[in-house]
Amino acid sequence: MQLLQREMQEMEKERKLKTIQEQKLADFAAEFLEKRVTEEEIAMVRRLVTNAVRDGKFEAMVYSFPSDLCTDSGRAINSGDRDWPRTLQGKAKEFFERYQTFGKPQGYKLKAMIINFPGGMPGDVGFFLNWAPDDV
């Protein structure tokens, strides 16, 4: 009986943890889809690029988000479809638009890739900013 009671307590603890994780993801998704990119987030991208340049790198992952927040759950990004930007929503779409307006004219390149595959399915998308010369 005590063993069964311990198992029930453990199952309840796991259920509560899962509920908390689901709520955090829901809160993130709501903010991601409804709010705008903040000056703090823009400053973070600048810091990431500055640190990468200082370390002699030509690329840095500057943003990530769950692929479920793309209109196709990340399929276009995962398959290398050239129209992948059309699947972006919320802050990811705004980051891409900012790249088009400010980064691309300065010679930066942006690529998006699926950076993990939990359970074999696309997980998170990473935005990678690249400033390598074309001949490198």
40-51: per-residue pLDDT in tens? 999 999 999 999
Q: How far apart are the first and last CA of the chain?
A: 67
Written as one letter, the residue type at 88 is L
Residue 64: in which H helix or E strand, if any? strand 59-66
pTM of structure: 0.78
Mean pLDDT on 37-60 = 94
The share of the chain scoring above pLDDT 90, in percent, equals 77
| Paired strand residues for 110 | 129
Distance (Å, whole) CA 61 – CA 49:
9
Distance (Å, whole) CA 107 – CA 7:
58
**Contact between 61 and 51 (Cβ < 8 Å):** no
Which backbone phi and psi does 135 adopt, to 5 degrees? -90, 5
- Ranking 30-39, 96-105, 123-132 by mean pLDDT, the lowest is 30-39
Distance (Å, whole) CA 82 – CA 79:
9
Q: Two tokens at 135?
A: 């001949």
Which backbone phi and psi does 98 adopt, to 5 degrees? -65, -40
Helix, strand, or coil (residue 57): coil
